Amino acid sequence: MAIGIFDSGLGGLTVLESVARRLPEVPLVYLGDNAHAPYGVRTADDIFGLTCAGVERLWAEGCDLVILACNTASAAALKRMQETWVPEGKRVLGVFVPLIEALTERGWGDNSPPREVAVKHVALFATPATVASRAFQRELAFRAIGVDVEAQPCGGVVDAIEQGDEILAEALVRSHVEALKRRMPHPEAAILGCTHYPLVEKTFRAALGDGVRVFSQPELVADSLADYLARRPEFAGEGRASRFLTTGDPGSVSDRAVQFLRRPVSFEAA
Q: Burial of 93 by CB count in 10 Å (0-12 exposed, 13-18 middle, 19+ buried)? A: buried
Q: Using DSSP bridges, classify how beta strands 115-116 and 144-145 pair: parallel, antiparallel or unpaired.
A: parallel
d(CA 45, CA 64): 24
Annotation marks residue 194 as catalytic: yes
Q: Using DSSP bridges, classify how beta strands 243-246 and 3-7 pair: parallel, antiparallel or unpaired.
A: unpaired
Task: Give every CB contact of residue 178 below 8 A, 6+ residues apart in sequence.
Answer: 207
d(CA 126, CA 72): 8
**3-class secondary-structure state, position 153:** strand
Helix axis angle for 166-183 and 201-208, nearest 10°, is 30
Q: Which of 52, 63, 154, 194 is catalytic?
A: 194
CA angle 234, 238, 243 (to 5 degrees): 115
* Contact (CB, 8 A) for 216 and 192: yes
Annotation marks residue 70 as catalytic: yes
Q: What is the DSSP letter of 198?
A: G
CA angle 39, 134, 53 (to 5 degrees): 35
Helix axis angle for 13-22 and 250-261, nearest 10°, is 60
Q: Which of 52, 63, 70, 154 is catalytic?
A: 70
Cα 233 to chain centroid distance, Å, stands at 23
What is the sign, positive or negative, of the torsion defined by CA atoms of 142, 12, 129, 59?
A: negative
Query: Which residues are annotated as catalytic?
Result: 70, 194
